[in-house]
Structure 1
Amino acid sequence: MVLPSDLPLDLPAVAAVVGRLRTAGCVFAEDEAELLLSTARTPAELSAMVDRRVDGHPLEHVLGWAEFRGLRISVDTGVFVPRRRTEFLVQQALDARPDASVVVDLCCGTGAVGAALAAELAGAVELYAADVDPAAVRCARRNVAPAGGRVYEGDLFAPLPAALRGRMDILAANVPYVPTEEVGLLPAEARVHEPLVALDGGADGLDVLRRVTAEAGEWLAPGGLLLFETSERQAPRAVEALSDSGLVARVAMCDELYATVLVGSQPGWYSSATSRH
């Protein structure tokens, strides 16, 4: 383990950090200790960070950042933490529309999806994002700034500029999809420290997804794609929601990341299919 030069600690002190994390139930205590040690600037800051992690705060909230597709994404306390499985949604968008020039990150949280797409698409990108949570909006603005992205606060499409209607090449909507009665079963890191609005998707977990699909058609450009993340169990009902809104659905699954992504398009642009990676 390599320690930062401005934080001189001896090996017993490092072992103590690992020991505290392991005792608190951190499965990857050594890896987490290395991240904490590389981020903390002083012994006092390290001690405070370890205390927060031991108390159950998500590691990304303690660090203040998360890695997402090679980017260091700023993550403020109380904001939804970008999951590694959501990288699969980004890859599906890149594979399907590498030529996209107008990207919208709806229910953006930290803005990680939009930031990653803007960084990896080949050409110049107009990037827009929106979230109903003011804390998420403040965080996302920092993360999309390098791409010149703009972030709006409000409910789904409502705060977006009307001029975007019919222009979206990629509409990535990382909607909440946990059924209400299952929110209490989530790990404490999520249900205690992340906003409920980013987790609770209603009775069957698809309430917000249905609201997005109901309006998406008028916002998508010809050949534009709508992408959601959901669970494998929910995928058939999510496909129905897309079909009811006049969109054609494709389901993609990644066993390695335990990720299920729905890709919706206007009729004539995409055929229904299920692919597994």
Structure 2
Amino acid sequence: MSLYSRLFSKNKSKRLSGSSARGWFGKKPSQNLSMGTLNKSSSKPKSSKKTRLGVRSTGKIAVSIALLVTLATAITLLKLQWQTHREIRDIRIKGSDMVSMDEMYPRLEHLMGLHPDSVTSEDVLGSIEDLAAIKSAQYWVDPAGSLVVDIEDRTAIGLWLDGTIPKLVSADGVFLPYKESITQTYPLVVGFQAKDITSDRIKPSSFHTLGSFLDMAQRHPTVWSSISEVGHHPTEGIIALSHEAGVKLIFGTSNLETALEKWTEFYTKEALKRGMQTFHTIDLRYAGQVVVKENPDYLQTQFIPNRSGGSS
């Protein structure tokens, strides 16, 4: 076939598009034209592999989510069942050195076996409010079913004798139970009349100043260890007797913190050197000074002339 026939033949399109057709000049189709086809055919297996991996990952995630949902549901059901069957099984005290279980248990025994949600603050705190040693309290029920009562005790600052019965006194004048096991020492509170006393306390209006003084004195170790009795005088204010020699100490009614500091300084620098027995009264009420009255009986015994000796 001539070149003209090849170029303008009616079967031109068929020859070009046939599966065995060669190029216009009898050559194989350019390799560059087949590159795209080769790349496409080689990428198909990779795409299939990615699809399989994606399906597997999605399946694992779905299984994980299902397990988490099942676990959360089981925990919720167990929690609801536990909440439904909870009850108070025990009573415990926390934070108190002054309230005993013998005092606490009879007041709260009626709550045993009850569901915690059915117990009110009045049921718990109202049952123990008559215990004088309790300043404040809070409570909760722990997972084991124990009713825990967390107590803040009143702080004892003095000792009171009701006839021959010792009682401790708090800073607000409330009488607290005295226990033989108590090792700390307290100054004896004196000087109050019957009209100042009720069955459970010294009236706040009468005890306020002395209570504040003793509360401050506890923070001054020298003062706390050196006084044995303390009271309130109508004109002199706070007065005390020293442990050693029973010397009268006058602190007054105002600037009590300053008076405590002055007594600490005077006691360590003067009284210990000279001896407490040389003093009758030590007045700490005045600014910038300590007024001392010496003990004439003691001084007289120290300065009697020596009358012994031979005659001439």
**Which TM-score tier does this pair reach, normalised by the shorter chain?**
under 0.3
TM-score under structure 2 length normalisation: 0.22
Structure number with greater Rg is 2
TM-score under structure 1 length normalisation: 0.24
